[in-house]
Amino acid sequence: MALITLSVNSQEYSLDVEPETPLLWVLRDHLGLTGTRYSCGAGLCGACTVHVDGEAVRSCTWPVSEAAGRQVVTIEGLSPDGSHPVQQVWLAENVCQCGYCQPGQIMAAAALLARTPDPADDEIDAAMANNLCRCGTYPRIRRAIHRAAKGGGV
């Protein structure tokens, strides 16, 4: 075990955890931030996507020790009240079905739009290719990202 200092959603935490513990389980089990979801545990599906220093990363394969000293943002910290433009367009396009993967989809989309404000379809495909959705909400996710790029229009 080791004492690790972590910044999550602009809040500082000191945690005594195994350094190789995946960030996912620290967020969920230790910090109670359950919006970041487990689905594959192997970096294959994107349900656990969070931002580390603004980049979308798979928290299920990201050791917590590597997040130390960096800014981690989860779905709970994307906006205090669901008002982030990406969350708003997700509602406007009725993207959600079961909804379980959507925090990861939203975090991936938010990172894409921060980097590429008006992405083309192939840029969306590339950025979102490994965010899986078994419900098949992909067409709406694509529409929502385009809508966000054009200013929302909620």
Partner 1 sequence: MSAQPNAGLTRRDLSRRDFLKVSVAGGVGLTVAVSLAGCDTQPAPTAGPLPSSTAVPTPLASPTAADTPSPTATPEPAAWEPNIYLTVDPAGMVTIRAFRSEMGQGIRTAIAMIVAEELDAAWEQVRIVQVGAAPAYGDQVTGGSVSVSSHYERLRQAGAMARDVLVSAAAHTWDVDKAACRTEGGEVIHPDGEQRLAYGALVDVAAGLPLPSPGDVQVKDPADFRVIGTPRGLYDAPDMVTGRPLYTSDLSLPGMVHAVVARCPVFEGQAAGVDDAAARAVPGVRDVVPISSGIAVVADSTWAALRGRAALDITWNEGRNADLSSEATRLLLADLAPQPGSAGAGSMDAVYEIPYLAHATMEPMVCLADVREGRCEVWAPSQAPQAAKQQAMSASRLDTGEVVVHVPVMGGGFGRRHVPDFVAEAVEVSRAVGAPVRLIWTREDDLQHDRYHPISCTYIKATLDASGLPSAMPRPQPFPMAVGVPTGYWRSVEQFDQAFARESFLDEIAAAGGLDPVELRLSLLTGRGRAVVELAAQKAGWGTALPEGWGRGIAYWPTFGATHVAQVVDLSVAGDGTLRARRVVCAVDCGTVINPDTVVAQMEGGIVFGLTAALKARITVDNGRVQQSNFHDYPLLTMAETPQIEVYLVDSTERPSGVGEMGVPPVAPAVANAVFAATGKRVRHIPILAADLA
Contact residues: partner 1, CB under 8 A:
1, 11, 13-16, 18, 21-22, 25, 28-42, 44-45, 47, 74-76, 79, 81-82, 87-88, 90-91, 94-103, 106, 124-126, 128-142, 154
Residue 39's nearest CA partner among 87, 94, 125, 98 is 98
**Minimal distance, residue 53 CB to partner 1, in Å:** 20
Smallest separation (angstroms) from partner 1 to the CB of 43: 10
Nearer to partner 1 by Cβ, of 69 and 152: the residue is 152
Which residues make Cβ contacts (< 8 Å) with residue 3, sequence separation at least 6? 14, 15, 16
Q: Which is nearer to partner 1, 17 or 71 (CB)?
A: 17
What minimum distance in Å lies between the beta carbon of 101 and partner 1? 5
Question: Which letter, b or e, does each residue of 41-56 get, where b requires 16 or more Cβ atoms within 10 Å of its Cβ?
Answer: eebebbbbbbbbeeeb
Shortest distance, position 70 Cβ to partner 1, whole Å: 18
Element (H, E) at 5: strand 2-8
Between residues 111 and 131, which has the closer beta carbon with respect to partner 1? 131
Count of CB atoms situated within 10 Å of the CB of 121: 10
**Which CB, 57 or 102, lies closer to partner 1?**
102
CA atoms of 148 and 92, how far apart (whole Å): 10
